[in-house]
Amino acid sequence: MLKRISALMLAGLTAMAVGGCGGSGGGGAASGGGAITMGFSQVGAESGWRTANTKSVQDSAKSAGITLKFSDAQQKQENQIKAIRSYIQQKVDVIAFSPVVESGWDTVLKEAKNAKIPVILTDRAVDSKDTTLYKTFLGSDFVEEGKKAGKWLVDEYKDSKDPVNIVELQGTTGSAPANDRKSGFQEVIGADPKFKIVASQTGDFTRAKGKEVMEAFLKSTPDIDVLYAHNDDMGLGAIEAIEGAGKVPGKDIKIITVDAVKDGMQALSDGKINYIVECSPLLGPQLMDLAKKVVKNETVPTRVITEETAFNQEQAKAALPNRQY
Amino acid sequence: MRRLLWPAVILAVLLLVNVFFTANFFSIQMRDGHLYGSLIDILRFGAPLILVSLGMTLVIATGGIDLSVGSVVAISGALACLQISQDAGVFTAVVLALGLSVLLGAWNGLLVAVVGIQPIIATLILMVAGRGLAQLITGGQIITINSPSYKIIGGGYWLTVPFGILLVAVVLAITVFLTRRLALGMLIESVGGNAEASRLAGIRSRGIIIMVYAFAALCAGVAGLMISSNVSSADGNNAGLWVELDAILAVVIGGTSLSGGRFSLGGTVLGALIIQTLTTTIYSIGVPPETTLLFKALVVTAVCLIQSKSFREKVFGRRRRAVPPSPAAEEKVRVTA
């Protein structure tokens, strides 16, 4: 009996789910004439940065009068591909997404192109050879961020002749920010042989992993002068590991991170981090402008860079009270 | 005891490999009034995995499997951190989080034992829905808290020893007592061997099954508290991600069969420690991040093969027998082949 009831319930749920899909699909097609409908596939909510990014996109869509269909891929490429396919089926006017990893997008982007739906990449790039697959890429220049981090380091140690041992906490392996922040940083510090990256591992952009990897580094590499973390959260995790080892973060080990989220800025103004390169998540307004342009078939530059800066400890103290995210 | 031999050998080899790369790998010092060293790290970061694996062992012993433990880890950490961020006491937060975990586990058990859904499907529901629930609790944000007393659970020390390790020791001791000193362990093995026959023999299979799933979720809940407390923040997305797979692997490495029946708690602990040691090894010997997963896969494959008795006999046994050319031995090989 129970089995039969649960089977009935399951059937009911499935029917509802199918009904739901059909309904929203119809809505998307109907709105094709008037207001713009945008399908946006977010990476996930892995960090405070990402949450601020999501909020910026949602808020500016509302104020720009654009209907937003939002989906969270929970860090999985297959979820993003599924989301993009469903946007194509729903016939949205424009698709925007932040790719989880750089490669493997050609097929689904071709499907979008065949359906004549323009695609805007936000925040992260794809490595497709065929650049006609998307209209434009709006986001930070991660190589430049890595270079900024490297320049500060070179400047900080310009009077010293001793070797500088650096450990690096990379972002998710294969993701654009991890690849580019690494290469930009290496390009700048590579000019001087005294800078040496003695250990480099992925911390998956999370605090827990950042802490775990840093704990291992502290034991396997006794002499660490500088930590370069590809985002604030890994840096914050690593700070706990450094404190646990009886060292003072910011003094015994200098710390450079990227992003400038609120928790990171707090640590920076507390003197636990030495330098943060900003990577602004507030690209919603720029995204909506671009979306309106590509829907009207106006030409847009293939690369749009978000406005960004960098903070040292004094600047962080000044900027912290106004930090939104 | 012999069943534990191979996992123990593998763990020892992995630890020894580290000495080649990190000379002071085995040294344990006192720093800031607590123990400090690589071995302590392995135990401390391995503690949540050991807990989850203990629960998983009992579930697997009943012939089931629990895929939802990773989500329960996330939910428990998220609920506790949310409560603390809203100025609830640490005790209330911990009790609420563990209470919810047990409820979720009992739900899994009900689906399996009463409704009769296959365990892998029944727990898959919570695995997927649970992540959503965790995100619902955190509002998609990472909740950062600042509570020194909550911090103790996963990141603190008690009498110089990391509190997490003590917690695991206590849970392990209780589990061993309940399953090996009382009849409970035998009942679980009998349900795993044949649930229907056990019921006919007068064992309340349903109750036992619901209980082991609730226990697995409770262990996962404690692990969730540890993980979130260690970094003073709850991350609905990443906390406990894929821990169910690591836990199943730990159980298998420990020598418990996935088809249910006999189980080995000691083996599971060794299995979990092997996995954590492998992770630490990867960090300290500097395997490039691009090849980390491949490296792990190769080691795990090797470990599983060495564990397998029939594999050992095929590869090592024949060679050993072939060396002394005795006709009787050759005869035997031919017969078994």
Q: What letter would DSSP give residue A244?
A: H
Q: Report if residue A274 sits inside a domain.
A: yes
Radius of gyration of chain A (CA): 22
| Contact status of B236 with chain A (Cβ, < 8 Å) | yes
Same domain? A260 vs A171 = yes
- Tell me which chain B residues have a C-beta less than 8 angstroms from the C-beta of A244: 32, 36, 155
Question: Which amino acid does the sequence have at A274?
Answer: N
Same domain? A82 vs A198 = no
Q: What letter would DSSP give residue B291?
A: G
**Which of A219, A223, A236 has the most B C-beta neighbours within 10 Å, making it the best mutation to test the interface with B?**
A219
Please say whether the beta carbons of B58 and B269 come within 8 A: no
Determine the distance in angstroms separating the CA of A63 from the nearest CA of chain B, rounded to an integer.
Answer: 22
> In this complex, do B135 and A45 lie within 8 Å of one another by their Cβ atoms?
yes
Q: Burial, B298: exposed, middle or buried (Cβ in 10 Å; 0-12, 13-18, 19+)?
A: exposed
Give the model's pLDDT for residue A6: 54
Same domain? A197 vs A261 = yes
The total number of residues shown for chain A amounts to 325
Angle at B17 between CA A238 and CA B57, to 5 degrees: 75
Give the model's pLDDT for residue A25: 37
Name, in order, each residue with C-beta under 8 angstroms of A246's C-beta and a sequence gap of 6 or more: B31, B32, B36
Same domain? A112 vs A203 = no
Same domain? A49 vs A106 = yes
| Contact status of A211 with chain B (Cβ, < 8 Å) | yes
CATH of the domain at A96: 3.40.50.2300
pLDDT < 70 regions, chain A: 1-34, 46-47
ipTM of the complex model: 0.85
| Residue A155: alpha-carbon gap to chain centroid | 27
The secondary structure element, H or E, covering residue B30 is strand B29-31
To 10 degrees, the CA torsion angle through A11, A16, A20, A21?
Answer: 0
> In this complex, do B142 and A211 lie within 8 Å of one another by their Cβ atoms?
no
Radius of gyration of chain B (CA): 22
Q: What are phi and psi of B328, to 5 degrees?
A: -65, -45
Q: Residue B140: which of A234, A71, A205, A242 has the closest Cα? A: A71
Give the model's pLDDT for residue A5: 55
> In this complex, do B286 and A204 lie within 8 Å of one another by their Cβ atoms?
no
Angle at B274 between CA B290 and CA B278, to 5 degrees: 20
Question: Which amino acid does the sequence have at B123?
Answer: T
- Tell me which chain B residues have a C-beta less than 8 angstroms from the C-beta of A259: none
Give the model's pLDDT for residue B318: 61
pLDDT < 70 regions, chain B: 1, 318-337
Determine the distance in angstroms separating the CA of A104 from the nearest CA of chain B, rounded to an integer.
Answer: 16
Same domain? A109 vs A153 = no
Name, in order, each residue with C-beta under 8 angstroms of A223's C-beta and a sequence gap of 6 or more: A165, A198
Of A46, A202, A211, the CB nearest to B237: A46
Phi/psi zone of residue B37: left (φ > 0), alpha (ψ -120 to 50 degrees), beta?
Answer: left
Q: Which residue of A has its CA nearest to B287?
A: A201
- Tell me which chain B residues have a C-beta less than 8 angstroms from the C-beta of A245: 31, 36
Of B115, B227, B289, the CB nearest to A170: B289
Residue whose pair of structure tokens reads 């900027």 in the numeric block: A319
Residues of chain B with CATH 1.10.3470: 33-286
Give the model's pLDDT for residue A196: 94
Reported in sequence order, the residue ranges of chain A that DSSP labels E, i.e. its strands, are: 37-42, 67-72, 94-97, 119-122, 136-139, 164-170, 195-202, 226-229, 254-259, 275-278, 303-305, 310-312
**Which of B136, B233, B277 has the most A C-beta neighbours within 10 Å, making it the best mutation to test the interface with A?**
B233
Q: Residue A36: which of A287, A306, A299 has the closest Cα? A: A287
Which residues form the domain of A72?
34-140+281-307
**Distance from C-alpha of A262 to C-alpha of B144, rounded to nearest angstrom:** 11
Same domain? A166 vs A288 = no
Of A45, A174, A212, the CB nearest to B237: A45
Residue whose pair of structure tokens reads 């789910």 in the numeric block: A17
Same domain? A158 vs A246 = yes
Same domain? A290 vs A300 = yes
Same domain? A238 vs A180 = yes
Q: Report if residue A324 sits inside a domain.
A: no
The B residues from 25 to 64 touching A (CB cutoff 8 Å) are 25, 31-32, 36-38, 41, 45
Of A2, A47, A170, the CB nearest to B142: A47
Same domain? A202 vs A186 = yes
Give the model's pLDDT for residue B106: 97
> In this complex, do B115 and A199 lie within 8 Å of one another by their Cβ atoms?
no
CATH class of the region B33-286: mainly alpha
Same domain? A239 vs A181 = yes
Number of separate domains in chain A: 2
Q: Which residue of A has its CA nearest to B34?
A: A244
Going by their DSSP bridges, the two strands A94-97 and A119-122 should be labelled as: parallel
Q: Report if residue A65 sits inside a domain.
A: yes
> In this complex, do B283 and A216 lie within 8 Å of one another by their Cβ atoms?
yes
Q: Report if residue A85 sits inside a domain.
A: yes
Distances (CA, A) of A136 to A96, B91, B240, B336: 10, 52, 36, 67
